[in-house]
Amino acid sequence: MAGGRTRITKSFTFDAAHWLPKVPEDHKCRRLHGHTYRLEVALEGPLDPELGWVVDYGAISGVVDPVVRELDHRCLNDLPGLENPTAEVLATWIFRRLRPELPLLVEVVVSETPRTSAIFRGDG
């Protein structure tokens, strides 16, 4: 199993409320509302020649679960850095929180609904 990179993903969910303070007053998202968010993290790297994986999924959960607990059943606007918690801002915020402990992290996807999502792929 030499060469190349493999992408792995793991999904999480959390429930949270938010409102978007910068949209027009009559926009429906200006009012407090909630979502069951779906979070997907993607990591890329070479396969470990002994174990045959990129990263243990349990290790990923060990890093992501505390961040999910911080977001779950909260008003996102109350968290520092999420004063304007669009899906795009949230994806970026989560990526930057996780990357120090997950150096192979390449992408965070945040879905507010089954039909909408924002993808943040890192800072370059």
Identify any residues that bridge with 37 across adjacent strands, giving them in sequence order.
Answer: 14
| Helix, strand, or coil (residue 91) | helix
78-87 long-range contacts, CB within 8 A, separation 24+? 82/18, 83/21, 84/20, 84/21, 84/22, 85/18, 85/20, 86/20, 86/118, 87/111, 87/112, 87/116, 87/117, 87/118
Q: Which residues are catalytic?
A: 29, 73, 112
Q: Using alpha carbons only, what angle is made at residue 102 by residues 100 and 103, rounded to the nearest 5 degrees?
A: 75
